[in-house]
């Protein structure tokens, strides 16, 4: 029961559930290390085509563990190399869906934004309240929130620590979809299931290409996309997908 991250699989879907309910899933160093290890293991598993990171119905994660950080010095924080650890999430090729209900604050919001999609429950609350603790976002909040919802709203949220509701987050483009508290996990599984039916190599390369849109100029991004597009003509799944269309049957993708 003390495992900070629980894992299970459902068909081609790997699910990692944050499990520190007493402290609202605060992201301790141990939790993050285990979460990343599990996600990387899913990514290496050829049977896993989509990963879901979930919290509970009450909370996704209330941020980094404040008790862990309160007495930390510059060197303590620097030595933890949290950003280096988080860069490993970005190297995962399998699509990752964050299933968010309740609070996703500080590092919790940054974790959700580091995923590829966010399915939220109506009770979800997103925020970067670090300013109220005398600091600021340090795991991507100023960059990813700004890219997701634009400078005007990101600036207001980060400078005041205000929380954003699921409805507002959906309207602002931060989340993929919103479902009821009872249904958000089922909704994330449904989305994962639809992706898992697609050709796995094309899914991974398309994910990589979409994520490059945040980093490259349009011309560079178009060139990058084109190269990946051509490369898919080296896969059996491309032959199968197009042949199945012509033969009016359902394709059977093998990830080859
Ligand atoms: N850390 C540790 N414990 C936490 C916690 C957190 N982030 N959030 C909640 N808890 C604990 C509470 O202390 C409380 O413990 P007990 O008193 O029962 O022992 C328990 O969880 C229940 O919390 P509350 O009693 O406060 O519950 P409420 O429903 O009244 O309030 C709340 C819920 C989410 C509004 C409130 O708990 C809250 O404001 N929590 C803090 C949210 C926050 O400020 N998050 C941002 C943390 S700072 C780094 C870069 C960045 C970061 C780290 C490293 N590097 C580059 C190295 C990230 C920083 C952050 O995320």
Task: Supply the CATH number for residue 90's domain.
Answer: 3.90.226.10
Residue 56: how many other CB atoms lie within 10 Å: 17
Q: Is the CB of 23 under 6 A from ligand 1?
A: yes
**Closest C-alpha to ligand 1, atom 1:** 65
Closest ligand 1 atom to the C-alpha of 23? 21
Question: Same domain for 206 and 104?
Answer: no
Q: What is the 3-state secondary structure (H, E, C) of 88-151?
A: HHHCCCCCEEEEECCEEECHHHHHHHHCCEEEEECCCEEECHHHHHCCCCCCCHHHHHHHHHCH
Residue 252 lies in a domain: no
- What average pLDDT does range 132-155 have in this prediction? 97
Question: Same domain for 86 and 206?
Answer: no
Residue 251 lies in a domain: no
CA of 129 to the centre of ligand 1 (A): 10
Question: Same domain for 229 and 121?
Answer: no
Mean pLDDT, the chain, rounded, equals 96
Question: Same domain for 139 and 99?
Answer: yes
State the catalytic residues: 64, 107, 110, 130
Threshold 0.75, pTM exceeds: yes
Residue 255 lies in a domain: no
Kindly indicate the confidence band of residue 180, based on its pLDDT and cuts at 50, 70 and 90.
Answer: very high
Q: What pLDDT is recorded for position 81?
A: 79
Q: Is the CB of 130 under 6 A from ligand 1?
A: yes
Residue count of the chain, please give it.
256
Residue 72 lies in a domain: yes
Asked if pLDDT for residue 132 goes beyond 90, the answer is yes
Q: pLDDT digit string (tens) for 13-69? A: 999 999 999 999 999 999 999 999 999 999 999 999 999 999 999 999 999 999 999
Question: Same domain for 127 and 241?
Answer: no
The token pair that represents 244 in the structure block: 């199945």
Question: Same domain for 13 and 48?
Answer: yes
Question: Same domain for 213 and 169?
Answer: no
Q: Is the CB of 106 under 6 A from ligand 1?
A: yes
Determine the Cα–Cα distance for residues 163 and 166; give it in Å rounded to an integer.
10
Residue 205 lies in a domain: yes
Decide which of 196, 217, 234 is a domain's last residue. 196
CA of 79 to the centre of ligand 1 (A): 22
The pair phi, psi for residue 227, each rounded to 5°, is: -65, -45
**Closest C-alpha to ligand 1, atom 25:** 23
Residue 219 lies in a domain: yes
The number of distinct structural domains making up the chain is 2
Domain limits at 124? 5-196
Sign of the Cα pseudo-torsion (166, 168, 172, 178, in order) = positive
Closest ligand 1 atom to the C-alpha of 133? 44
Closest ligand 1 atom to the C-alpha of 83? 56
Lowest mean pLDDT of 62-71, 79-88, 166-175, name the range.
79-88
Decide which of 173, 196, 219 is a domain's last residue. 196
Decide which of 196, 213, 231 is a domain's last residue. 196
Q: Is the CB of 66 under 6 A from ligand 1?
A: yes
Q: What pLDDT is recorded for position 1?
A: 58
CA of 127 to the centre of ligand 1 (A): 12
* Residue predicted with more confidence, 252 or 78: 252
Give the angle subtended at the CA of 33 by the CAs of 28 and 145, to the nearest 5°. Answer: 70
Question: Same domain for 122 and 134?
Answer: yes
Contacts 24+ apart (CB under 8 A), 83-86: 83/138, 83/139, 85/32, 85/33, 85/36, 86/32, 86/110, 86/114, 86/139, 86/140
Residue 25 lies in a domain: yes
Q: pLDDT digit string (tens) for 83-104? A: 788 889 999 999 999 999 999 9
The pair phi, psi for residue 82, each rounded to 5°, is: -60, -35
Closest ligand 1 atom to the C-alpha of 24? 21
Give the closest residue to 47 by CA, choosing from 193, 200, 190.
200
- What average pLDDT does range 141-150 have in this prediction? 97
Question: Same domain for 100 and 125?
Answer: yes
CATH number of the CATH domain containing 210? 1.10.12.10
Q: What pLDDT is recorded for position 116?
A: 98
Question: Same domain for 97 and 154?
Answer: yes
Element (H, E) at 13: strand 13-18
Q: Is the CB of 83 under 6 A from ligand 1?
A: yes
**Closest C-alpha to ligand 1, atom 13:** 23
The alpha-helical segments, DSSP class H, found in the chain are 29-44, 66-69, 74-80, 82-90, 107-114, 141-149, 151-160, 166-172, 184-196, 200-212, 218-231, 236-246
Question: Same domain for 36 and 122?
Answer: yes
Kindly indicate the confidence band of residue 256, based on its pLDDT and cuts at 50, 70 and 90.
Answer: very high
Give the angle subtended at the CA of 198 by the CAs of 195 and 203, to the nearest 5°. Answer: 75
Residue 113 lies in a domain: yes
Question: Same domain for 212 and 168?
Answer: no
């Amino acid at each position: 029961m003390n495992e900070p991250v629980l894992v299970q699989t459902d068909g081609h879907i790997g699910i990692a559930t944050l499990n520190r309910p007493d402290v609202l899933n605060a992201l301790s160093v141990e939790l993050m290390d285990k979460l990343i290890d599990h996600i990387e293991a899913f990514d290496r598993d050829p049977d896993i085509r989509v990963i879901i990171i979930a919290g509970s119905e009450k909370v996704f994660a209330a941020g980094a563990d404040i008790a862990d950080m309160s007495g930390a010095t510059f060197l303590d924080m620097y030595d933890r190399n949290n950003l280096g650890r988080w860069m490993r999430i970005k190297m995962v090729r399998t699509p990752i869906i964050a299933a968010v209900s309740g609070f996703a604050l500080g590092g919790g919001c940054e974790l959700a934004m580091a995923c590829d999609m966010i399915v939220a429950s109506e009770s979800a609350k997103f925020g970067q309240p670090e300013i109220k603790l005398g600091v600021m976002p340090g795991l991507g909040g100023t960059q990813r929130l700004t890219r997701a919802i634009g400078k005007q709203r990101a600036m207001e949220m980060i400078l005041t620590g205000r929380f954003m509701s699921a409805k507002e987050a959906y309207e602002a483009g931060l989340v993929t979809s919103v479902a009821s508290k009872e249904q958000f996990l089922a909704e994330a599984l449904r989305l994962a299931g639809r992706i898992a039916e697609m050709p796995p190599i094309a899914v991974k390369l398309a994910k990589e290409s979409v994520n490059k849109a945040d980093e490259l100029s349009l011309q560079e991004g178009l060139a990058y996309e084109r190269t990946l597009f051509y490369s898919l003509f080296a896969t059996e799944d491309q032959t199968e997908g197009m042949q199945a269309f012509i033969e009016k049957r359902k394709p059977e993708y093998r990830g080859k």
